Amino acid sequence: MQFSESWLRTFVNPPLSSEELSHLLTMAGLEVEEMDMVAPAFSGVVVGHVLTKEKHPDADRLNLLTVDVGQGQPLSIVCGAPNVSVGMKAPCALVGAQLPPAPGQDKPFEIKQAKVRGVASFGMMCSARELGLAEDASGLLELPVDAPVGQDIRRYLDLDDRLITLKLTPNRSDCLSLNGIAREVAALTGAKLESLPAPAFEQTGSAARAVKVSAPAACPRYAGRVITGVNAKAPTPALMVQRLERCGLRSISALVDVTNYVLLELGQPLHAFDLAKLHGGIEVRHARKGERMKLLNEQTIELDESMLLITDEKGPAALAGIMGGADSAVDDASTDIFLESAFFSPHAIAGKARQLGFSSDASYRYERGVDFGAIIKALDRATQLILDICGGEACPVTEVQAALPSRHPVTLRAARVERVLGIRFADGEIARILNRLGMQCTETEGVYTVTPPSYRFDIAIEEDLIEEIARVHGYENIPALPPRGMLSMLPQAEGQRPLAVLRQAMVRRDYQEAITYSFVEAEWERDLCGSETPVALQNPIASQMSVMRSSLLGGLLDALRTNLARRQPRVRLFEIGGCFAAAEGGYTQHDRLAGLAYGPALPEQWGVAARDVDFFDLKGDVDALFAPVGLSFVAKPHPASHPGRSAQILCQGRAVGWIGELHPQWQQKYELPQAAVWFELDLAASLASGVPQAAEVSKFPPVRRDLAVLVEEAVAVQTLIEAMYGARAPAVAEVALFDVYRGKGVEAGKKSLAFRVLLQDTHKTLTESEIDKSIARLVGALQGAGAQLRA
């Protein structure tokens, strides 16, 4: 919503500067998005009156003028404007005037006494472009004949006015008008709100047009008036044109300008139909299948049955609440009009304009809700302006009204206000605030019953009223009181996550928790852990539970076999429990986390091709668990794993567990149709989450370099990555493997690895020399690890 500050101050004029007014509106929830001057800074320009005009003796396109500028003695000025004429009034820049900088310049343009083709010139007549008011430079800016000669042009044209743009939230449709914004300013400052003048016309005509509303839920109130004998060619008053333009609307014709003017004044959309183009009575109804119409924007649209129309006997005349039809539009030949003012329900208008690919000022307001109580007020205001500008006779209003939206009373408790805002208001202060906002309220023992006005669609619950009180009281006037409470250190260290969080993390990775016995078969310990001397029980409860487990894997394999025996094709299990080992002078217990996956990688579905879970699926799960601290994997054999599919897990250089695919020997022994994949981790390491470390996000572009190297087949990729990170090359943000190649061009027993290196600085764009130095350090690290750059 863009508006002119000077226009607003005709409604309410608080003793505030423009900046203070802007701050006040923003703090009250009506955010000021922009505030601009109407015109750039300039000085020394006055209203000039051209007295005489003669041809320049030495230039065909120049004229020698005498111009009255209110100083007693006329000035002699050379002017080349094509539209200059004797008697016209136009801006005149006096000697010493400072005009806005010319295009491409940054300094003001100063007017000096000069000779033009040998003739002295004591000033300059100005176009709108030279004053920075418009792009038009085709001629002088012609002023009205009653412009006072010699008056400063900034004062005459009100060029010190400000254009204020509000960024309104959708619930504040009541502020989509000058009157609505003025209501808010008056409530916030206590300044007097000036009302619009009461209509002074008489209804001397008798013409009328029948109105029928067939969709009362969509149009609860419709009013219209015939105005006859208007002069549609009458010029729009300059002040009205100026205000419209400063609010972002262009002047079209007097009749259309009046409807737009009242829209900006009161927020009520209006529409004028050419009465001669309407056939029969008016009906408000929904569109019928197959209907079409041409709008004022020259767009012909297909109507669907959800759209609301204003129609006559021949068909659609306007798209209700959005735009008028071209076939019934007023033009310069119009003499009789039908002026419409209506309330359309927001649900009937919302989304229709966007559906058609455009928007309008009317639809923007109707979608958010207009004041259904101001329908006749806006109609009378527009009627008065039309009669004043275009003449004519006003006829009686035809009105149809159905069930209007209810404004239900809202209960507000003073104790609740104090509790939410932390402020105790003096007796009567809450009522005074609400009354300033136009709300009716009664109070009984600290409980207020508040009825919102017709223009406030956003007041429905107690919290809405508390927000209103806070806005008007002023957020900056609410004291910032520190909270009081007993504080103590949390028992959980920042770098540790609770055990329950770890369990939930496993469940989110699609595992189910298993709880197995700590007593296991001695054979499991020999097979899966390579332990020939497990911790034996003196009195086992069963022969197959004779030793204490040193790994959780045996219990998970037994649970897997139980599931397979019950035809479960996909099994994913995890367990958290204690493992035991002999130690000097006794025994030790280590808590561990283990997981096992078997069967399809994903549940049966149509979206992804079926495949079995593999080593890398579980590696991804383990990586996800350790995401805050990071892991590395080193190929290493384990008694339970396939020799080529086994790895030790390291966290910050310390061994914390194992991961692998079950050894084919144990797969066959324990009668598994296919191999299971498993991992086992130290529980303390699994609970480590790390303390978050803040890092600056670079604003500068990253640079990518690719490094391809040849290494022996036995060299692990992780070894090379760690060597590159260990080199601490400046600005290296990421190193990652993106290609592995074996085959033609690569010696037997070797492999080709390609790494992506991203370099990025947080303070500058890297230069080529800096990039080369970092890459050289990485290459050195790779060579030190046994890699050779590939040619």
Residue 490 confidence (pLDDT): 66
Query: Looking at the domain assignment, is residue 195 inside a domain?
Result: no
Tokens 């010319």 belong to: 102
pLDDT at 492 over 70: no
Q: For residues 393 and 444, what is the distance between their CA atoms, to the nearest angstrom? A: 51
Percent of the chain with pLDDT strictly greater than 70: 99
326: which DSSP letter? G
For residue 692, tell me if it sits in a domain.
no
Rg of the chain (C-alpha set): 42
Q: How sure is the predictor about 690, in pLDDT bands with cuts at 50, 70 and 90?
A: confident
Give me the residues paired with residue 124 across strands: 93
Residue 47 parent element (H or E): strand 43-55
Q: Span 763-780, mean pLDDT?
A: 93
The predicted structure's pLDDT at residue 496: 79
- ∠ CA 96-97-101, rounded to 5°: 120
pLDDT digits (tens, 9 = 90+) for 735-765: 999 999 998 888 898 999 999 999 999 889 9
CA distance readout (Å), 256 to 249, 357, 360, 383, 654: 11, 23, 14, 12, 81
Type of residue numbered 759: L
Q: Is residue 460 part of a domain?
A: yes
- The answer to whether residue 375 is domain-embedded is yes
pLDDT at residue number 92: 96
For residues 84 and 168, membership in a common domain is answered with: no
Do 341 and 395 share a domain, yes or no?
yes
pLDDT (0 to 100) of residue 453: 94
460 and 563, same domain (yes or no): no
Q: What pTM was computed for the model? A: 0.63
Q: How confident is the model at residue 595 (pLDDT cuts 50, 70, 90)?
A: very high
Task: Let me know whether 94 and 53 are in one domain.
Answer: yes
Same domain, 533 and 432: no
Instruction: Check which CATH number belongs to the domain holding 55 and give it.
Output: 2.40.50.140
Residues 459 and 574 in one domain: no
Same-domain status, 712 and 596 = no
* Averaged pLDDT for residues 619-631: 83
- Note the pLDDT of residue 543: 79
Q: What residues contact 256, with CB distance under 8 A and at least 6 apart?
A: 272, 330
DSSP string, 302-321: E--TTSEEEEETTEEEEETT
Choose the weakest-confidence range: 288-292, 348-352, 481-485, 635-639. Answer: 481-485
CB atoms under 10 Å from CB of 215, counted, come to 18
Of the candidates 309, 296, 367, the residue with the CA atom closest to the CA atom of residue 340: 309
Give the pLDDT of residue 663.
95
Angle, helix 178-189 to helix 462-473, in steps of 10 degrees: 70
Average pLDDT estimate for 278-304: 93
In a domain, 232, yes or no: yes
Mean pLDDT of 660-686: 92
In a domain, 766, yes or no: yes
Domain count, the chain: 6
Note whether residue 695 is domain-resident. Answer: no
Q: Domain range spanning residue 70?
A: 43-156
Which residues fall within 8 angstroms of residue 28, CB to CB, at 6 or more apart? 184, 188, 471, 472
**Is 723 in the same domain as 762?**
yes
Residues 12 and 50 in one domain: no
State the chain's mean pLDDT as an integer: 91
Q: Phi and psi dihedrals of 212, rounded to 5?
A: -130, 130
Ranges 145-159, 271-285, 536-550: which has the least confidence: 536-550
pLDDT per residue over 42-75, tens digit each? 999 999 999 999 998 888 889 999 999 999 899 9
Which CATH number do you get for residue 719?
3.30.70.380
Residue 718 has pLDDT above 90, yes or no: no
Q: Is 709 exposed, middle or buried (0-12, 13-18, 19+ CB in 10 A)?
A: buried
Judging by DSSP bridges, how do beta strands 211-213 and 282-286 pair with one another?
parallel
In a domain, 632, yes or no: yes
pLDDT for the residue numbered 530: 87
Compute the distance between CA of residue 217 and CA of residue 403 in angstroms, rounded to an integer.
8
In the listed set 345, 370, 401, which residue is the last one of a domain according to the structure?
A: 401
Asked whether residue 573 falls in the same domain as residue 504, the answer is: yes
Considering the domain architecture, whether residues 442 and 590 belong to the same structural domain is answered as no
Residue 63 host element (H or E): strand 63-68
**Both 270 and 166 in a single domain?**
no
